[in-house]
């Protein structure tokens, strides 16, 4: 067991976002690769916006993806509690320490005053930095003010003229000028810490060795480093992951596809496909390889191979990848995976039909080469459950006349009538091809396929007839002929 301890610290203010899942995954792979620990803790100090249902969603989403935490609110551990709301006493002690040492102070500016100050600075083309005049206020006086005023926060007394430098494992040397930070806020009250403060206390007390998080947090790092220094804590190694961008290179948003892991799950993406896809969002193995099992990713993963530039979230690639993972499933596995999606589909169609598993297995196997998402299964295969509905124009191949169409359907009918269920796809195909000879295949096969499925696109008519059986196939051809008359 190594001393490597990493963490993911989501706020339960919304469903588990794919970006958070990617950060969780990189932390997880890093921990597993180094035989370290992966910690999940919940940043729920913002009680108004935090919600237990989102906490559940985070646990559930990570579990579904196969990103298991070694320590978390669910499984506990030696450094708990793992919810910030349960750690207030710990934070309070350190906030008080900074106040006592006069490294932090109470600020009594109202929101309105702060906004006016910001506007003035911006108008004068100065950076909007708040160097607070309360930083030198006598503690006894400040204590009196806190009794009298309700509007106050606690700020850190940022040292001036300091260059704050750190070595980011992905971005290399990073430096910030302390004069650009201002006296930043660390807590609303002594028992209501804010993000930058709570996070460094958690990282220290949970013995976090590496902070691997999104690049959007890089500007928080100098503030956290100053607090770490003020409290005499150990500095963790930082690795800021590249932003995730949509396919148009803008920041990933709803426009680019579902945002939450749950939505991907509901659309029928497989967890192992999403796991693989997320791992490639900013990381590669150094060659073009795209498919990795979880075990292989754990073995291959390293922070050195994480890129600096933004990672493109290409939903078309995810769809393709998911299809490839679907193809790897055995018929039995895919049947089990599809069943809940099919049940939902039938329910939405108000259908109470019961479908035999062996019939279903054949249908699913037929769709397996084309399926991209499990949730497509119902719509793609519904013609196996009930007679299709479609516009009669769809039956026509090219500019076929009514008479030609009837002739085509009758020719198919004639061939099929020579068979009996069960038939083999090969046998019936052979009979059709013999009959068509050198002629245009579409003239016979297109109207037949549409009569069977009612769809613009589907598997070929022979495979379908093999499953549908002779009687039902003939019934559908008869119905198609009726349509045209």
E strand spans, 391-453? none
- Residue 163's CB is within 10 A of a number of other CB atoms, namely 10
Task: Select 46 or 263, whichever has its Cβ closest to ligand GLU.
Answer: 46
Site for ligand GLU in 457-476 (CB under 6 A): none
CA angle 57, 61, 64 (to 5 degrees): 140
Q: Spell 293-314 as b/e; 16+ CB within 10 A means b.
A: ebeebbebbebeebeeebbbbb
217 near ligand GLU, judged by CB under 6 A: yes
Which residues does the annotation mark as catalytic? 254
The piece of 4-12, 229-237, 334-342, 349-357 that touches ligand GLU (CB under 6 A) is: 4-12
Interacting residues with ligand GLU between 399 and 458 (CB under 6 A): none
Q: Is the Cβ of residue 73 or residue 388 nearer to ligand GLU in the bound state?
A: 73
Say which residue the tokens 């085509």 belong to: 408
Q: How far is the CB of 51 from ligand GLU (least distance, A)?
A: 15
Interface positions, 6-35, toward ligand GLU (CB under 6 A)? 9-11, 20
Please identify, using beta-carbon distances, which residue of 194 and 355 lies nearer to ligand GLU: 194
C-alpha 142/C-alpha 152 separation (Å) is 10
CB 130 → ligand GLU: shortest distance, Å?
A: 22
Helix (H/G/I), strand (E/B), else coil: 469: coil
Which residue is closest to ligand GLU by CB?
213
**Cβ 303 to ligand GLU, closest distance in Å?**
15
In the bound state with ligand GLU, the residue whose beta carbon lies nearer, of 110 and 219, is 219
Please report how close the Cβ of residue 195 comes to ligand GLU at its closest, in angstroms.
Answer: 7
73 binds ligand GLU (CB under 6 A): no
Report the SS3 class of residue 148: helix
Q: Which is nearer to ligand GLU, 174 or 411 (CB)?
A: 174
Minimum distance from CB of 189 to ligand GLU (Å)? 20
Residue 378 contacts ligand GLU per CB under 6 A: no
For residue 199, state whether it binds ligand GLU (rule: CB under 6 A): yes
If the CB atoms of residues 9 and 450 are measured against ligand GLU, the closer one turns out to be 9
9 versus 334: smaller Cβ distance to ligand GLU: 9
Are 349 and 388 in contact by the 8 Å Cβ rule? The answer is no
Classify each residue of 54-70 as buried b or exposed e, where b means 16 or more C-beta atoms within 10 Å of its C-beta. Answer: bbebbbebbebbebebb
Among residues 11 and 158, whose Cβ is nearest to ligand GLU?
Answer: 11
Spatial distance between the Cα atoms of 211 and 241, rounded to a whole number of angstroms: 10
| C-alpha distances in Å from residue 215, one per residue of 92, 116, 425 | 29, 30, 56
Alpha-carbon gap, residue 154 to 104, rounded angstroms: 7
Per-residue interface string for the shown chain with ligand GLU, residues 30-69, x marking contact by CB under 6 A: -------------x--------------------------
* Least separation in angstroms between CB 81 and ligand GLU: 16
Instruction: Please state the closest distance from residue 154 (CB atom) to ligand GLU, in A.
Output: 20
Least gap, CB of 21 to ligand GLU (angstroms): 11
What are residue 37's DSSP bridge partners?
5
Q: What is the CA radius of gyration of the chain?
A: 31
Query: Applying CB under 6 A, what is the total number of residues that bind ligand GLU?
Result: 8
Peptide bond into 403 cis (omega under 30): no
Binding residues for ligand GLU (CB under 6 A): 9-11, 20, 43, 199, 213, 217
């Amino acid at each position: 067991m190594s001393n490597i301890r990493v963490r993911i610290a989501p706020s339960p203010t919304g469903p588990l976002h794919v970006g958070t899942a990617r950060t969780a995954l990189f932390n997880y792979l890093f921990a597993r690769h180094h035989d370290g620990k992966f910690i999940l803790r919940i940043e729920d100090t913002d009680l108004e916006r935090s919600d237990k249902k989102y906490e559940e969603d985070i646990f559930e989403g990570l579990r579904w993806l196969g990103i298991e935490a070694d320590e978390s609110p669910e499984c506990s551990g030696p450094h708990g509690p793992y919810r910030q709301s349960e750690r207030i006493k710990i934070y309070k002690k350190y906030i008080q320490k900074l106040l006592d040492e006069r490294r932090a102070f109470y600020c009594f500016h109202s929101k309105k005053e702060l906004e006016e100050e910001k506007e003035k600075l911006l108008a004068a083309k100065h950076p909007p930095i708040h160097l607070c005049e309360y930083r030198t206020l006598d503690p006894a006086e400040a204590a009196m003010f806190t009794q009298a005023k309700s509007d106050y926060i606690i700020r850190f007394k940022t040292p001036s003229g300091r260059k704050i430098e750190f070595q980011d494992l992905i971005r290399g040397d990073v430096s910030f000028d302390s004069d650009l930070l201002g006296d930043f806020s660390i807590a609303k009250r002594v028992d209501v810490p804010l993000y930058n403060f709570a996070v460094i206390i958690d990282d220290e007390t949970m013995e976090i060795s590496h902070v691997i998080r999104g690049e959007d947090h890089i500007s928080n790092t100098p503030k956290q480093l100053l607090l770490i220094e003020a409290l005499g804590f150990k500095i963790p190694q930082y690795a800021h992951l590249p932003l995730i961008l949509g396919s148009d290179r803008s920041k990933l948003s709803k426009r680019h596809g579902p945002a939450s892991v749950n939505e991907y799950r509901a659309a029928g993406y497989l967890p192992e496909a999403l796991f693989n896809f997320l791992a490639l969002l900013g990381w590669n193995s150094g060659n073009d390889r795209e498919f990795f099992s979880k075990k292989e990713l754990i073995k291959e993963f390293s922070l050195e191979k994480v890129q600096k530039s933004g990672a493109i979230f290409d939903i078309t690639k995810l769809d393709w990848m998911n299809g490839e993972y679907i193809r790897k499933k055995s018929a039995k596995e895919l049947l089990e995976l599809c069943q809940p999606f099919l049940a939902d589909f039938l329910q939405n169609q108000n259908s109470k039909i019961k479908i035999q598993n062996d019939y279903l297995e054949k249908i699913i196997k037929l769709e397996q080469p084309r399926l991209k998402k499990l949730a497509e299964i119902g719509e793609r295969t519904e013609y196996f459950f009930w007679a299709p509905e479609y516009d009669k124009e769809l039956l026509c191949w090219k500019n076929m006349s009514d008479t030609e169409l009837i002739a085509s359907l009758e020719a198919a009918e004639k061939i099929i009538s020579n068979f009996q269920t069960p038939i083999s796809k090969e046998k019936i195909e052979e009979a059709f091809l013999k009959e068509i000879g050198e002629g245009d295949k579409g003239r016979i096969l297109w109207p037949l396929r549409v009569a069977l499925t009612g769809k613009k696109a589907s598997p070929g008519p022979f495979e379908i007839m093999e499953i549908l059986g002779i009687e039902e196939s003939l019934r559908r051809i008869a119905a198609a002929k009726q349509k045209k008359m």
